[in-house]
Amino acid sequence: MDDNKTDIKDFLAFAYSFYKTVKEYKINLVYEGEITHQIIKAFTSLTETNMEIDEEPTSIQKKVFHVMVESLQNISKHSDHLDTENQRKEGRGVFILGKNNDTYRITTGNVISRSNVESIRNQLTKINNLDKEGLKLFYKKQIKEGRLTQKGGAGLGFIDIAKKTGNKLNFNFLSLNDDYSFFVLTSTISKNI
Amino acid sequence: MEVIKIIGTDDTPNVILDANNNIFEISGRSLPEDVASFYEPILDWFDDYAEETNKKTIFDFKLVYFNTASSKLILDILLKLEEMYEAGKDVLVRWHFPDDDEDMEEAGEEYADIVEVPFEQVSYSLD
């Protein structure tokens, strides 16, 4: 019984420190769980409403919308860690939308097979080394040659995010065990362009 | 000739493929949950239409948003139009974009570069 009380106390302390952290990083939305089509619709529509209230220019609204959709769909299509016990098919991951005076920052985190780390790293590095014209060419090549995967991925998400934001993609891979890594990606939309 | 009329939602576009009234257009937002099955009947429709085309086919794209998965299927539609054009049919693609939306204008330019079909960019004002 006493143990239980300590647990609850700890948990309340955690809730408060979580709240403080969210405020400190100016986070508007944070989520961990399955990324379904319904979730994508709910988050984008909530964010659109908030941006309307903030009187954000249409061009920024559209870019934020674009990047949110592609980032969330990346999780739902590429997250590898399937919950075999519960037979869940949808990808899971973390989604964070942060906003400060100059930028919107969209971060996703999800588990991937370690065997996929290299190819993702290479693709992101390649994209980050391209300028605007290079990205356009890469996009055109990929849209012509790429095939839609079973899950509906076109292999264009990262390129599109880089094109639309004009900023470099920040990413990291954290090793979880022999088989899996945690992939974190942050895209930045500048408000003053 | 079969008529396709799909009323748009917040994640699927409006689609009208009506040969009798000479209206061919896709407009609105495109981020369907299952992009391949959404566009399948549209792509199939083209195979029938190519058999008995109108004298002139003007295809209007008036999208305000599409995700990258849809962008691949939009290219497939343009490739169907390209096939018709290459077979000697009179085809024109009109790509409409809001006058303040550079990304949508650029998307049109990129498609125009990829496919060999008469392509017209048309800007419109949202006001």
Range of the domain at B78: 4-124
Q: Is B114 on the interface with A (CB under 8 A)?
A: yes
Name which of A156, A158, A164 to mutate to probe chain B: the one with the most chain B Cβ atoms within 10 A of its Cβ.
A156
Q: Can you list the alpha helix ranges (DSSP code H) found in chain A?
A: 2-24, 37-53, 58-78, 117-128, 132-145, 157-165
In a 3-state reduction of DSSP, which class is residue A105? Answer: strand
pLDDT of residue A125: 97
Confidence of residue A80 (pLDDT cuts 50, 70, 90): confident
- What ipTM does this complex have? 0.90
Would you call B33 and A156 a contact, using CB atoms and an 8 Å cutoff? Answer: no
Report the residue from B72, B98, B114 with minimal CB separation from A154.
B72
Pick the closest to residue B25 from B88, B95, B108, B98 (CA basis).
Answer: B95
Would you call A148 and B75 a contact, using CB atoms and an 8 Å cutoff? Answer: no
Domain CATH for B67: 3.30.750
Q: Is B72 on the interface with A (CB under 8 A)?
A: yes
Residue A14 phi/psi, 5-degree rounding, is: -60, -45
Count of structural domains within chain B: 1
Q: Is B99 on the interface with A (CB under 8 A)?
A: no
Residue A70 CB coordination number (10 Å): 23
Answer yes or no: is pLDDT of A81 > 70: no
pLDDT above 70: percentage of residues in chain B: 99
In a 3-state reduction of DSSP, which class is residue A63? Answer: helix
Q: Is B115 on the interface with A (CB under 8 A)?
A: no
Residue-wise pLDDT for A97-116, tens only, equals: 999 999 999 999 999 999 99
User: Taking the domain A2-190, which CATH number applies?
Assistant: 3.30.565.10
According to DSSP, the β-strands at A180-190 and A170-175 are antiparallel
**Sign (positive or negative) of CA dihedral A26, A69, A124, B113:** negative
Would you call A69 and B33 a contact, using CB atoms and an 8 Å cutoff? Answer: no
Least confident of A20-29, A147-156, B44-53, B114-123: A147-156
Q: What residue segments make up the domains of chain A, in order of their start?
A: 2-190
pLDDT above 70: percentage of residues in chain A: 91
Answer yes or no: is pLDDT of A155 > 90: no
Q: Is B82 on the interface with A (CB under 8 A)?
A: no
pLDDT of residue A78: 73
Query: Do you know the residue count of chain A?
Result: 193
